[in-house]
Structure 1
């Protein structure tokens, strides 16, 4: 009898650990205890884009303020919209596409020079990010930078070290898409 109880306890503990891990990875079980908080930088990443600043701003803002394409709607869902800020859910494939992480963030727009993101719910307790747009020659220089914070001292730092590279890779892929679309739009003939 004791053996069955021990096996059951191990199975329950293992299942709970697996469920907790999946909850953290997908953002379904956010852990924000405010104890032992450690922060690390995200970026900076600089990208020069051969398009005017207003075009780059519009490309970044369109999924939030404008009409999004079907492909974008699968990744970004605006939950609440104000005049200069939205609350949006972002869906990102993780674990080689076997899981989907959902983060909820506020996105604030300061036209035409800045877009700020603040995590509300996700795999870590806190993330702040910004895209700063400055004129650069005939185009735009986009600078991405931010900060990712975790709780629980070294354990949280370990988790942040796992999350941050994936977070930055997702942002880097988004920036490439922004550059391609902004440069495509700026090469189109302008209508009078």
Structure 2
């Protein structure tokens, strides 16, 4: 069985990127570790992750490099297969300085999300091929 990082214990590659601080029935509080500056440093964010099974996962920033981040991943079935829609919102303060910092954070954030989605897609395709479907 594959990794279920928010449900069980995080191991392997996920274990270095995620630490669950607390769990509820449909939500976790988790630290996420993102490598920055070529991997020499890492940014730490704390987020709530809420699950509306089977179609939705929502993230809300509690602590991080900007004051406001909300993200959602929504899954739906289509004739062609499963469709995933990602939406994210990043907010800043401190006027121009905040706008500059927000743009810097957003670039790294978008690259991290794209890499995560590519990883999820590859794993889903691997599982589908292994299942013969």
TM-score > 0.5, shorter chain as reference:
yes
**Structure 2 CA distance, aligned partners of 1:154 and 1:137?**
46
**Equivalent residue pairs, number:** 131
Deviations 1:34-56 (A, max 9, x none): xxxxxxxxxxxxxxxxxxxxxxx
Deviations 1:42-101 (A, max 9, x none): xxxxxxxxxxxxxxxxx7x82111343321111011010111000000001001111110
In the TM superposition, structure 1's runs of 4+ consecutive aligned residues that sit over 2 Å from their partners are 66-69, 186-190
Answer 1 or 2: which has greater helix percent. Answer: 1
- Structure 1 alignment gaps of length 5 or more: 1-58
Q: State the TM-score, normalized to the length of structure 1.
A: 0.65
Q: State the TM-score, normalized to the length of structure 2.
A: 0.92
- Structure 2 alignment gaps of length 5 or more: none
Structural RMSD (CA):
1.6
Answer 1 or 2: which has greater strand percent. Answer: 2
Deviations 1:139-187 (A, max 9, x none): 2111111110111111111110111011010000000000111121222
Residues 1:170 and 2:112 aligned together: yes
Residues 1:103 and 2:45 aligned together: yes
**Structure 1 CA distance, aligned partners of 2:39 and 2:12?**
19
**Structure 2 CA distance, aligned partners of 1:65 and 1:74?**
16
Residues 1:149 and 2:91 aligned together: yes
Larger Rg: 1
Residues 1:179 and 2:116 aligned together: no
**Structure 2 CA distance, aligned partners of 1:94 and 1:71?**
16
Residues 1:75 and 2:21 aligned together: no
